[in-house]
Structure 1
Amino acid sequence: MAGLAGCLSEDGPGGGGSDSLRIGVMQPLTGDLEYYGQQSLWGFLSGLAYKHDADPLDIDSAGEETVEGDEYDYELLIEDTEFDADQAQSVATDLVQNRDVDVLFGTASSGSARQVIGSVVANTDTPFIAGPAAAADITSSSEYCHDRVFRANENTAMDARSGGQYVANQTDVQRVYIMAADYSFGRAVARNYRTVLESEGIEIVGEQFVPRGYSEFQGLYDNAVEANADAVIGGFTVSTLPAFLSTGLAGDYDLRMFGGFATMISNRAIGGVAQRTFGEDFTAQDLRDAELGPFTTRYHWNQYDNEINNTFVEDYTNTYGTVPDLFTSGTFTAASSLVQAVEESGSTSADDVVDALTGMTVQDTPKGEGGYTYQEYNNQARSSMTIANPVPTSDEWASNWDAAVMPSEPIATVGGEESTLSQDAGGMDCNLSG
């Protein structure tokens, strides 16, 4: 990253001041986790479409597209980051240095987002809307937070604050053992849950980090039982989650398993575990008896009942053949906020867009009108979160949700004031507002 600093112009982003906003869109669109990038892109395209009363563009690969409006156009320069931080840096550098983008948007990887901030944003002052990268430190650490870095998407601290408070106050859990993947996401999950649970009087009786793809969980569950835990948290993505759940559900451990609802591919894995454990016709009661849940969700299609979300779900499903998933509300809101910034400022210049985004309450979001507000102290959008239980996928959604389990209707909603790190919270080392 240090070597790149001398290669990038310090004159700031190109474009600006015209009737078009050039947006560099960076998501992983190929490889094992291409669905992360696809749903992120589709949410963004849906936000642009909603603001222009149009159907979303049906795109799932790199290329250039334009969304036309009455006064302003939005030129999309879409690139594949391959879920690789070096590739994300290379793509971002090219978009800024050679293709004159006004704003960057992406990525699904927190490591990639950090590298783009450190190597590109810091050297060019190009505005960057990070997302769905979820590590809390992107908007809480002084190393990464920046007055031109915004994030509409929810983060791991919001997962932990909403889910941890619910488990501490609405269940009989007293002693928790944490298991998590040994990289930035897993460690962020563990750190944030530890902070929240301990503040609520819950004892953390053990913590274990394992490599991605780890499968020998029996010993870890034995450790949790020996530590007299009554619940475990799993901070894993789809490469490790099935083995974690299979061991927990198949064993006679009498431990509640809770954490965050993930994307469809992870729910597909959970559903497969449930079918192998309880049979093809497993029930919601089977999952309750196994003490699976409750889980926090940043967003799923059935968690919010309002006109914007209803339109979003219908248009997204019609265009992409699946319902909106975990990352899509945040990326819809990222696009919605950019259009709002351009229209409110009457300008596509980067400086004017940044000024308009700062402190903005975003009008059109899947969580309702004004459902997200960028906090001035760290440019993280504050929004509500919901708590739901895993249930068998209903006939209503089976054709558009390719997983055997889905979130239930929300059993609780945690407001943005409670879910988001406040300016004086422990772990908040970012104060852009002075």
Structure 2
Amino acid sequence: MKRALAAFSVAASFAVPAVAQDGDPVKIALIHGMSGSALEAFSKQTQTGFEMGIEYATDGSMAVDGHPIEIIKKDTQFKPDVARAALAEAYADDEVLIAVGATSSGVTTGMLPIAAEYERILIVEPAVADSLTGPDSNRYVFKTSRNSSMDMQAQALALQPDEDLYVATLAEDYAFGRDGIEAFKRALDGTGATVVAEEYAPQGTADFTAVGERLFNALKDKEGRKVILVYWAGGGDAPGKLQSMDPGRFDIELSMGGHILPVLPTYKRFPGLEGAVYYYYEAFDNEINDWLVKEHMDRFGTPPDFFTAGGMASALAVVKALRETPSLDTEDLIATMEGMSWDTPKGEMTFRPEDHQALQSMLHFKIRVDDDVEWAIPEKVRIIEPEEMDIPVGREN
């Protein structure tokens, strides 16, 4: 990888890829972890959704305004140094116009300065952490994925908080988990609800006995509704381990967000559980989602999943930006994308001009168990609209 190229004038050498002539391809890089982590499934879904999104948005031509779209795929191996090198190679050697990635918030954080160095756009999908559009981000970064504040504000709304609610939290000990719990606490401000304890455990934790006992002890003597909020993306079955410790003996209930379909069978242990989630294929009624569900079922025999919809949303943003920009110059693309709204499988999204976070809806669900369905169904209670959530601005332009 030719990182030494960075020593030259980035603005002069790499600001505009060679796509000026009709028929030349517009190159888009998908930079995701495809090996080395349990989160590979998220990346694979994102890639499928992205490819289907380009197909849908171009009516199957895979081209925009005479430019074929060429998708270049690179594996971060879930390592920040590999991700940075892969992104630099995509910009410098492959001459990609836009990159999309990555899966882990921690890995993606390391990619942000590379976008600024090469003065090229990076669309963050599906990494979640608020900090990805925060003070350490930059004007070349746009984010189609939801952020931790959306997760947690929607989660708080789903709990219908008041002064009778006491919550203890469990999250993974890295950017995803800590940003999420901070966002959840902000969402509860002014509601009267109280967070009585916070626990953070390393990714890969398998034994939650001590953590569970501390959470139970923090809640068991409270008079009111007692909830443990679990914000956990990886393995280890944190909610299942807590449930096996019988929180019900203290009138403690669990709450958590939704998950990908392969994980939802485990939610059958939690009938009636309420929470919030980015997407479930049956919950959104629009033409794009109808197409995605039908085509995904026809091609793969399963419904589209959580991150499939996210990958498609990022692809639809790319195609709309390419169609509306006056040129393929990065500055024109930035001007086009700031404030841009576009339709997705979960409704309209809008890039907020101040920090380039895509504002979007969330789903308040209640778990329903149907013996004829292999997974628990996150049945729609209601759609939480973007204007119901007060998402902090992460970075001022």
TM-score, normalization by structure 1: 0.82
> Which of 124-133 and 192-201 deviates more?
192-201
Aligned match for 2:346, one of 325, 347, 367: 367
For the 8 Å contact 2:172–2:201, the answer to whether it is kept is yes
Deviation at 1:137, TM superposition (A): 1.2
Instruction: Summarize the Cα distance change of 1:22–1:5 in structure 2 as closer, same or farther, 3 Å threshold.
Output: closer
Task: Give the fraction of aligned pairs with identical amino acids, expressed as a percent.
Answer: 23
Determine the structure 2 residue equivalent to 1:255: 252
Aligned residues between the structures: 382
For the 8 Å contact 2:154–2:276, the answer to whether it is kept is yes
For the 8 Å contact 1:221–1:248, the answer to whether it is kept is no
Alignment pair present for 1:231 and 2:207: no
Deviation at 1:346, TM superposition (A): 4.8
Q: Give the Cα–Cα distance (whole angstroms) in 2 for the partners of residues 147 and 104 of structure 1.
A: 14
Instruction: Summarize the Cα distance change of 1:21–1:351 in structure 2 as closer, same or farther, 3 Å threshold.
Output: farther
Deviation at 1:69, TM superposition (A): 4.7
Deviation at 1:226, TM superposition (A): 2.5
Which runs of no fewer than 5 residues in structure 1 stay unpaired? 55-65, 275-285
Instruction: Summarize the Cα distance change of 1:91–1:83 in structure 2 as closer, same or farther, 3 Å threshold.
Output: same
Instruction: Summarize the Cα distance change of 1:49–1:114 in structure 2 as closer, same or farther, 3 Å threshold.
Output: same
- The residue matched to 1:327 in structure 2 has which SS? helix
Equivalent residue letter for 2:271: L
Instruction: Summarize the Cα distance change of 1:394–1:105 in structure 2 as closer, same or farther, 3 Å threshold.
Output: farther
Q: Give the Cα–Cα distance (whole angstroms) in 1 for the partners of residues 5 and 172 of structure 2.
A: 32
Deviation at 1:7, TM superposition (A): 4.1
Q: Give the Cα–Cα distance (whole angstroms) in 2 for the partners of residues 180 and 254 of structure 1.
A: 21
How big is each residue's C-alpha offset from its partner over 1:318-339, in whole Å with a ceiling of 9 and x where there is no partner?
2233222122333212111111
Determine the structure 1 residue equivalent to 2:128: 134
What does 1:58-77 align with in structure 2 at a 5 Å threshold? 67-69=62-64, 71-77=66-72
Instruction: Summarize the Cα distance change of 1:266–1:189 in structure 2 as closer, same or farther, 3 Å threshold.
Output: farther
Alignment pair present for 1:178 and 2:169: yes
RMSD value over aligned CA atoms? Answer: 2.4
Determine the structure 2 residue equivalent to 1:431: 396
Determine the structure 1 residue equivalent to 2:179: 188
For the 8 Å contact 1:29–1:82, the answer to whether it is kept is yes
Q: Give the Cα–Cα distance (whole angstroms) in 1 for the partners of residues 101 and 82 of structure 2.
A: 13
Q: Give the Cα–Cα distance (whole angstroms) in 2 for the partners of residues 208 and 122 of structure 1.
A: 35
Q: Give the Cα–Cα distance (whole angstroms) in 2 for the partners of residues 311 and 394 of structure 1.
A: 27
Alignment pair present for 1:40 and 2:46: yes
Determine the structure 2 residue equivalent to 1:10: 10
Q: Give the Cα–Cα distance (whole angstroms) in 1 for the partners of residues 261 and 5 of structure 2.
A: 39
Q: Give the Cα–Cα distance (whole angstroms) in 1 for the partners of residues 376 and 318 of structure 2.
A: 34
How big is each residue's C-alpha offset from its partner over 1:174-194, in whole Å with a ceiling of 9 and x where there is no partner?
110111111111112211112
Determine the structure 2 residue equivalent to 1:99: 94
Determine the structure 1 residue equivalent to 2:271: 287
Deviation at 1:394, TM superposition (A): 6.5
How big is each residue's C-alpha offset from its partner over 1:28-85, in whole Å with a ceiling of 9 and x where there is no partner?
223432211111111111211111223xxxxxxxxxxx93356332111111222222
How big is each residue's C-alpha offset from its partner over 1:390-415, in whole Å with a ceiling of 9 and x where there is no partner?
223574xx5xxxx532311x102211
- The residue matched to 2:276 in structure 1 has which SS? strand
- The residue matched to 1:212 in structure 2 has which SS? coil
